[in-house]
A and B are shown apart, each in its own frame.
Chain A
Amino acid sequence: MTSDARPPDPVPEDAAEGQVVELPAGSRVTDVAIDELEMIYAFIYSRVGNRADAEDLTQQVAMKAIPRLRQGAPASAVRGYLFATARSVLGGFWSTRLGLSESELHEDLAMAMPQGGYSEESVERVRRILEQLSDNYRRVLELRFLHGYSLKEVAVEMRSTVGAVKVMQLRALRAAAKVRLDG
C-alpha cells in the first residue's frame, strides 16, 4: 500500500517571519538558537502556566533540537524547527500528565503555533476567549485568574458561596475551552 495523500505541513520552512537570514559566518548555531529559545520559552510558558514546567520543557526542546542544527541554517528555519520540537514536547507533556495518548488530545489543547511567533498572541487570545463568555463566566475567570482572587473573595464579590463559585469556575473553564477563534 502506497501512501500518496499529502498530509498538511504544520511547520512551513519559513513559517516564522518569512525572511530567511543566513547566519553570519563564525556565529555558532547554538548562540542563535539560544536567542530563539526565548520565544520557545514564552510559547511553552503560555501553554503550561508555570515556570518550573516551562523551564523543563524548554530544556528538553534545546537538548533535542540544537545538537542537530547545522551552521548555515537560516534563522527562520531554526525557529520553525524549534517550534516543531516544542509542539512535540508539549504534546508529550500533556499526554504524560493526563495519561492520554496524543491522539486523544485535541490538537488545539497545546499544540497550536503562535501566529506572531511571540506570546503576546497568547495573552490576546485569552482576552478574546473571555470576551466570548457569558458575564458570570467571564467575571469568575477574570477575578480568579487575572486578579488572583481567592475563592472566598470571588464569592464575596459575586455574592455567592464558595461551593457555587467552584462549580461556576469549572463550567466557565469548560466553556472557555470550547470557544473557537478565527485565526
Chain B
Amino acid sequence: MGERPENRVDRIVGSLLRGRRLKLRGGDAEEKEAIVMAARLAAARQGPQRMSPAFRQRLVKQLGASPPETWMTRRAALVAGLGVVAGAVGGGLLGRSLDGGGSQTSATAGHVVQPTNGRWIDVGALADFAPGQARMVRAGAVGAFVTRDGDSVSAVSSICSDLPCELWWDASQHALVCPCHNRTFTADGSSIGVYKLRSLDVVQARVLDGRVEVLGA
C-alpha cells in the first residue's frame, strides 16, 4: 500500500516505453492526467503508426466472417464494459428481452424494454402531450420519449440504439437526435439517414383515465 506517486507513474512509463500494454492498478486514477500524457508521449516517440500486415489480415478475416446480426452481443458486452451512463440507463437498457409482449410496437421498432420489477408510472396528463411531438419523460430509471397520436400514445427509449448517449428532440427536424454522433431517429424510433442503425427500443406506455403512464422501474 501507499506506493509513492512518482514510483506509480514511473512503473507505467517504464511499461509503456517497453511497448507493453497499459496495466493500471487501483489508485492509479489519482494520476490520470499524467498517465494519459505518458501514453501520448510514448506514442509520439514511435511516430505515426500503421497496422501491422498480420493485424490487418486478421481484421479483414474477422470482418469477412462476421455475421451481420452478431453485433448486438458484442455491443452489449462493450457497453457493459464501458460502464457508460450506467446510472442513466439503469437496468432497462441491458436487461431488455428480445420479444416483448408490449404495446404500440411499430413495424420498424426495436426491442421492448422490460424493466425488472416494472411498474406503471404516471408521467403527466394526456392533454399536456402535443400531438406528433416527442416529449421526454422519466419513469423511474427508464427514460423515454412519448409521442401522442390522438387518444393513444407510444414511447421509445431515450437512449440511442447505437452509442450509449441520451437523445434529444429537435422539433425543427421533427427528429430525435443523438448528441454523440449526430444520428437521428423518427419519433417512433426508426433510424433516419444512410446508416443502418437499429431502431430505438420500445418503452411501454398507455393512457389511463386521461393520464399517460409509462412502464418504468
List residues of chain A with CB under 8 Å of any chain B CB: 1-13, 30, 33-34, 37-38, 41-42, 45-55, 58-60, 62-64, 66-70, 72-74, 77, 80-81, 84-85, 88-89, 91-92, 94-102, 105-106, 109-110, 118-120, 122-123, 126-127, 141, 144-146, 148, 151, 163, 166-167, 169-170, 173-174, 176-178
The reply to whether A62 and B59 form a contact with Cβ atoms under 8 Å apart is yes
Judge whether A126 and B44 touch: CB under 8 Å: yes
Is B163 a contact of A84 with CB atoms below 8 Å? yes
Question: CA of A67 to CA of B36 in the docked complex: distance in angstroms?
Answer: 30
Is chain A's binding surface mostly helix, strand, loop or mixed? helix
Q: Which of B32, B41, B75, B198 contacts A49 (CB 8 A)?
A: B41
Interface residue B107 (Cβ < 8 Å from any Cβ of A): no
Q: Is the CB of B26 within 8 A of A73?
A: no
Assess whether B20 is in contact with A52, with CB atoms less than 8 Å apart.
yes
Which residue of chain B has its CB nearest to the CB of A12? B182
Provide a sorted-by-A list of 15 A–B residue pairs whose CB atoms are within 8 angstroms: A3-B136, A5-B168, A10-B182, A48-B43, A49-B22, A55-B51, A62-B63, A67-B71, A69-B195, A88-B164, A95-B82, A169-B6, A173-B37, A174-B31, A177-B37
Q: Assess A109 versus B10: contact at CB under 8 Å? Given A49-B42, A88-B180.
A: no
**B16 at the A/B interface (Cβ < 8 Å)?**
yes
A-B CB proximity, top 6 nearest: A92-B82, A49-B42, A177-B33, A49-B39, A84-B181, A173-B34
Task: Give the CA-CA distance A13 to B82 in the complex, in Å.
Answer: 25
Q: Which one of B9, B46, B137 contacts A1 once the chains associate, using CB atoms below 8 Å?
A: B137
Nearest neighbor of A68 in chain B, beta-carbon distance: B196
Looking across the interface, which residue of chain A has its beta carbon closest to that of B42? A49
Interface residues on B, range: 35 or more
Does B196 lie within 8 Å of A50, measured CB to CB? no
Looking at chain B's contact residues, is the secondary structure mostly helix, strand, loop, or mixed? helix
Return chain B residues, CB-CB under 8 Å to A91.
82, 84
B39, B64, B68 — which one has the most chain A CB atoms within 10 A of its CB?
B39
Contacting pair B195 A68 (CB below 8 A): yes
Q: Give Cα A74 to B10, complex, Å.
A: 45
Please name 20 further chain A to chain B contacts, defined as beta carbons within 8 Å, in addition to the given A38-B50, A145-B41, sorted by A numbering: A2-B136, A4-B168, A5-B168, A30-B64, A41-B51, A49-B40, A50-B22, A59-B59, A63-B62, A67-B66, A67-B70, A69-B195, A88-B164, A145-B42, A145-B44, A148-B45, A163-B6, A169-B6, A170-B34, A173-B41
Alpha-carbon distance between A111 and B197 when the two chains are bound, in angstroms:
23
Taking Cβ atoms with an 8 Å cutoff, the residues of B that contact A are 5-7, 9-10, 13, 16-17, 19-22, 24, 26, 28-29, 31-52, 55-56, 59-60, 62-64, 66, 68, 70-71, 74-75, 78, 81-86, 135-137, 162-164, 168-171, 179-182, 194-198
**Chain B nearest CB, measured from A42 CB (Å):** 5
CA–CA, A22 and B68, complex, Å? 22
**How far is A170 from B195 in the complex, measured between Cα atoms in Å?**
44
Give CA–CA (A98, B10) in the complex, Å. 16
Distance in angstroms from B52 CB to nearest chain A CB is 8
- Least distance between B158 CB and chain A CB atoms (Å): 9
Which of these, A8, A34, A100, A173, contacts B179 with CB under 8 Å? Answer: A8
Q: Which of A13, A42, A52, A63 contacts B66 (CB 8 A)?
A: A63
Q: What residue of chain A has the Cβ atom nearest to residue B64's Cβ?
A: A30
